[in-house]
Amino acid sequence: MENKIKVGLIGLGTVGSGVYKTLQNFDNIEIVKIAVHNKKKKRNIENLDESIITDDAYEVVNDPQIQIIAELIGGTEPAFDLIKTAIKNGKHIVTANKELLAKHGEELFNFAQANNKVILYEAAIAGGIPLIMPVKTILAGNKINKIKAILNGTTNYILTKMDVLGASYNDVLAEAQDLGYAETNPTGDVEGFDAAYKITTLATISFGKRIKFENVYREGITKILPEDMKAANEMGYKIKLIASAELNDDGQADVRVHPMLVPKSKTLAHIDYVTNAVTLSGNPVGEVTLSGPGAGEFPTASSVVGDILAICSELGKSDYILPMMRCNHNEDAQMIDITETKNKYYLSIKAKNRMGVIGLIGTACGNNHISVESIVQKELKEDYAQITVITEICKEKSMLKLIEELENNDNIWGVNSLIRVWV
C-alpha cells in the first residue's frame, strides 16, 4: 500500500466515474480522495468508498500524500484556482478541461514549468482519440501546417440526422436532447464554442505557436437548412462543422470553426453521428487522419487514465519528467482575421421569379471580383425562385460586399445560406 501512487479526483460525473472504475484495474495506483459537488447524489459505482468523498475540492489539492490530481469538472472557475493550488503544492495535473486550456493554458503551463510539474490533457481535445501524445512524440519530426477536424459529437450527430432524415435543425436537436446527446442548453456545442476551445489548444501544440482563443473565428450550425443538406448531396458534398487551422508560409495562423461543404472524396465527409476525427497535414508525413469516440464515460476515461499512467511511469526516475510533453513554445502566432481570408462559397438565394435574375446575380458577383463555378435554379414557383451558387476561391471581404449588394436589390428576397466550401 505504501508503494502505491496516490491520486486525487476532482469530479465524479460521467468522466470521473469512468476514470474511477478504470483505475481499479491498476494495483500500483490508489485513489485517496475525490471531490464532488453533491455528496448525497447516488452514483452508479460498485463498492465506492464513501469515506474518501468530500464536497470541498481544496481538501484534495491540499492533501500532502496526493501526487497526481485529475481535474474533471470543466469550466474556468474554480478549476483554474484548484489546478494552480495543486501545482503549488507539488502535484502533477491531468485534465479534460478544454475551455480552461483554451482561455488560460498559457498561464497554467508557464506556472507548471516554473514549479517543475507537468499538465497532461489528452482527454481535452478529442475524447478517446490518441492525439496530443502522438503530436508531441511520434509526429514531433513533422512540420504540421494544416488541421481539419470534427471535434464535437453533438453537432456531428445533429448534422448527420438532418442529412439522413431530411429533417430540420430544431426537430433533430429536440431528438438529440431526448437521447442525451445534446444538453438542455446546447449553446456551447451548436454555436461552436466547444470545437473552438479544442482547436485552439490543438493548433497551439501542432504549430508550436500560441493561438489566442479570442482570435479564433466561430460560427455554429443553427442556420443550416434541410435544403442545404439536399443541395450539398446533389453536388457531391456533405455539410460538417469543421474546426480548421492552417499556418501559411509567412507563419500566420488561420484558425476557425464553422460549417463546411466537405467533398465526399474526403475522409471527414464520412465521419457520422457522435464520432470525431482529426486530419493533420505536414511534412514529411503527408496526411494522417485519426478517428474514434470523441466523448463518453469510458472513451474519455481512457485518455485520462493514459495520462495518469504516463506520469506514474516517470515518478521517482527523474527530477524532470516527461520533457517532450511539456509546453515548449513562447511565441504568439500572428492571426489572420476571417475577413482577410480567401475561401470558396456556397450560397442559397431566394429571388423573385423574374427574367434576368440569374444574370443579375452573375453581374453582382462580377462587380465584386467573384468568379462563379456554378449557378443553378433549384426551385421555381409562381412568385419566387431558389438559386444555388458555388463560387471560385475569393476574398471574404468581397463575399461580404456581394451579400450586401444582393440583399439591397429589390429582386432578391434574401440570401438564405452562406457556407464555406472545403478546398
Are 200 and 260 in the same domain? yes
Query: Does the pLDDT of residue 147 top 70, yes or no?
Result: yes
Mean pLDDT of 349-367: 93
How many Cα atoms are found within 13 Å in the side-chain-facing hemisphere of 131? Answer: 33
Q: What is the DSSP pairing of strand 252-263 with strand 412-421?
A: parallel
What are phi and psi for residue 134, nearest 5 degrees? -60, -40
Number of domains in the chain: 3
Which pLDDT band holds residue 379 (cuts at 50, 70, 90)? confident
Cβ count within 10 A of residue 198: 27
Which pLDDT band holds residue 154 (cuts at 50, 70, 90)? very high
Are 287 and 139 in the same domain? yes
- State the chain's mean pLDDT as an integer: 95
List pLDDT tens digits, range 115-144: 999 999 999 999 999 999 999 999 999 999
Amino acid type, 237? Y
Query: Does the pLDDT of residue 237 top 90, yes or no?
Result: yes
List pLDDT tens digits, range 8-65: 999 999 999 999 999 999 999 999 999 999 998 989 898 899 999 999 999 999 999 9
Are 211 and 359 in the same domain? no
Cα 411 to Cα 97: distance, rounded to the nearest angstrom: 49
Are 227 and 182 in the same domain? yes
Residue of 281, 279, 299, 282 whose CA lies nearest to 129:
299
DSSP 113-140: HHTT--EE-THHHHTTS--HHHHHTTTT
* DSSP letter, residue 332: B
Query: So what's the pLDDT on residue 204?
Result: 97
Are 269 and 391 in the same domain? no
Are 104 and 186 in the same domain? no
What CATH number is given to the structural domain containing 232? 3.30.360.10
Query: So what's the pLDDT on residue 374?
Result: 95
Mean pLDDT of 301-312: 98
In the numeric block, which cell numbers belong to residue 316? 521517482
Which pLDDT band holds residue 2 (cuts at 50, 70, 90)? low
Q: What is the DSSP pairing of strand 252-263 with strand 217-218?
A: parallel
Of 240, 261, 293, the domain-final residue: 293
What CATH number is given to the structural domain containing 101? 3.40.50.720
The burial of 227, by beta-carbon neighbours within 10 Å (0-12 exposed, 13-18 middle, 19 or more buried), is given as: middle
Query: What percent of the chain shows pLDDT beyond 90?
Result: 92
Query: So what's the pLDDT on residue 181?
Result: 87
Which pLDDT band holds residue 378 (cuts at 50, 70, 90)? confident
Query: Does the pLDDT of residue 320 top 60, yes or no?
Result: yes
* DSSP letter, residue 214: G
Query: Does the pLDDT of residue 352 top 60, yes or no?
Result: yes
Are 115 and 72 in the same domain? yes
Cβ count within 10 A of residue 401: 16
Are 13 and 65 in the same domain? yes
Per the listing, cell 451579400 goes with 403
Query: What percent of the chain shows pLDDT beyond 70?
Result: 100
Are 122 and 155 in the same domain? no
Cα 271 to Cα 287: distance, rounded to the nearest angstrom: 16
Which pLDDT band holds residue 381 (cuts at 50, 70, 90)? confident
Per the listing, cell 457522435 goes with 274
Mean pLDDT of 73-81: 97
List pLDDT tens digits, range 190-219: 999 999 999 999 999 999 999 999 999 999
Cα 67 to Cα 91: distance, rounded to the nearest angstrom: 5
Are 70 and 179 in the same domain? no
What are phi and psi for residue 217, nearest 5 degrees? -75, 140
Residues marked active site are found at: 198
CB 304 within 8 A of CB 72: yes
Mean pLDDT of 274-287: 97
Number of helices and strands in the chain (H, E): 14, 18
Amino acid type, 311? I
What CATH number is given to the structural domain containing 357? 3.30.70.260
In the numeric block, which cell numbers belong to residue 313? 511511469
Are 145 and 161 in the same domain? yes
Are 144 and 227 in the same domain? yes
Q: Which residue range is the domain that position 375 belongs to? A: 338-421
